[in-house]
Structure 1
Amino acid sequence: MAKFKGATWRPIASNYRPGGQSSVRGLVVHIMAGTLTGTDSWFRNPAARASSHFGTGKSGALTQWVDTADRAWAQADGNSSWLSIENEGKGGDTLTSAQMDRIADVLAWLHRTHGVPLQVASGPSGRGLGWHAMGGAAWGGHTSCPGPRIVAQLPEIVARAKRLAGSPPADKPKPVYAPFPGVDYFRRHPRSPLITAMGKRLTAEGCGRYASGPGPQWTEADRKSYAAWQRKRGFGGADADGWPGKSTWDALRVPAA
């Protein structure tokens, strides 16, 4: 595994297990209940029996104490398969934007190097960005670490990591268009939201000038507007008589109600 080049490397001499990291399910967010300087000092005390792979300061400093190939002592049963990141602050705090950026930096790097998915983890058996309390008693029973206000920030951290990793944006939903109801539908001069939607499409296409405005009933003014649109789009003959046909309807693309 590796050291993260974006962090200041400050290795500790004890309080971790060399070569003990069996896998990397993701990154666990902690709160220090103290300062970055104080935590650095504590991790160097053999009596601490605690450590973390990474730590952030409120101003955006990022420290790495333990190589990701080694097992830090941060979340009990979660130590063998999760990496850890402590954050300067106390219970009830929110992370600063700079801290969120540093966590996102590490998460994006773990995505590239270890295949960690860019998502909020569903629990100890999940993968992605987790938090200490999600492990319950098996992870030491620290139910207030890092606190609900920080847990609420995790989706934004994931979003920042996605931008760093160059993840493609989510696909936009494909538009759904109303199916052609048949020309007889219009010959009956119906009143319906479909006619209003159709009038709005004709107006958007610059062919609504024959009507007083998109209304719910098919009228002679709408037929003239439709004929003008048919001619504008190059339809001729029976396809330019002002009555919707299958080909011209599909070309107009009226949104489904």
Structure 2
Amino acid sequence: MAKYSKAQWRPISINHTKGGQTSVRGLVVHIMAGTLSGTDSWFRNPAARASSHFGTGRTGALYQWVDTTNRAWAQANGNTAWLSIENEGKGGDSLTSAQMDRIAEVFAWVHKTYGVPLQVAKSPSGRGLGYHAMGGSGWGGHTQCPGTRIVKQLPEIVARAKRLAKPAAPKLAPFPGAAWFKRNPRSPLVTAMGRRLVAEGCSAYSDGPGPQWTESDRRSYAKWQRKQGFGGADADGWPGAKTWSALKVPAV
């Protein structure tokens, strides 16, 4: 099963095809022409012959009706290769900021789960964040869905998704002070620093037993300092505040 953990799971037993999602090119934005609760009820009606994977409310609610390994009935010929997200409102509306956030969250999850690029799609042959009207007659001829105002919001939704998908910066170790190294300490911090030096292209960073700062470390660090353009006291092989900051040693 493929469910987005931050969505409220509201499974429907009808109006979709089990196991019918053969590939994922992206996520298609729709407008409900109604309310979230009304759409939730409609998707449970056999007469509807329609469904969507996801749906947002104007105040920020997020539902998931169909597992993304199954085919929702949202955009005719586009159902086999595209996921779908309905949005509370009517034609001509703009999405609220809360709705844009929910779509961005789902799109970032689709990117991570299916490798969909974080970009706006403009045709059924593209990949990314699309919209119902781009499919033309093959997608049911819904040329006003979701409307021009929402289409203009798609680049901002992609930008929000990119911020969400960006890996968090690693936490770095604070500079312990130059005297700390001159005491020749045995510490995991020395090991972490040595690994960073190796990653930066320096040779083996220790010729002593265990994680301790040695003369070999000092020479390796001096070589790296010079390679980074440091000179004088900043390239003497002893970590200083500036060179420590440049090395970006992870916290231990």
TM-score tier, shorter chain, comes to: 0.5 to 0.7
Counterpart CA distance in 2 for 1:6 and 1:22 is: 24
Matched, 1:124 2:124: yes
* Correspondence for 2:97: 97
Paired with 2:27 and 2:47, the residues of 1 have a C-alpha distance of 25
| DSSP 3-state at the match of 1:31 | coil
Q: Map 1:1-257; keep pairs closer than 5 Å.
A: 1-166=1-166
Unaligned runs of 5+ in 2: 169-252
Paired amino acid for 2:82: W
Distance in 1 of aligned mates of 2:110 and 2:34: 26
How far apart in 2 are the matches of 1:44 and 1:122? 31
Q: Whose Rg is larger? A: 1
Identity percentage over the alignment? 79
Partner of 1:173: none
| TM-superposed deviation, 1:118 | 0.2
Q: What is the CA–CA distance in structure 2 between the aligned matches of 1:76 and 1:167, rounded to whole Å? A: 35
Q: CA deviation at 1:122?
A: 2.6
Number of residue pairs the alignment of both structures matches:
168
Please report how far the alpha carbon of residue 160 of structure 1 lies from its aligned counterpart in structure 2 after TM superposition.
Answer: 0.0
The 1:144/1:167 distance shift into structure 2, 3 A limit, reads farther
Separation in structure 1 between the aligned mates of residue 111 and residue 167 of structure 2, nearest angstrom: 11
Matched position secondary structure for 2:42:
helix
Q: Residue by residue, what CA displacement relative to the aligned partner does 1:158-192 show, whole Å, maximum 9, x if unpaired?
A: 00000000079xxxxxxxxxxxxxxxxxxxxxxxx
**Paired residue type of 1:59:** T
SS at match of 1:47: coil
1:245 aligned partner: none
Unmatched tracts of structure 1, length 5 or more: 169-257
User: TM-score scaled to structure 1, two decimals?
Assistant: 0.65
Aligned counterpart, 1:227: none
Q: Encode CA deviations 1:48-72: one digit per residue, 9 max, x unaligned.
A: 0000000000000000000000000
Q: Deviations over 1:29-66 (max 9, x none)?
A: 00000000000000000110000000000000000000
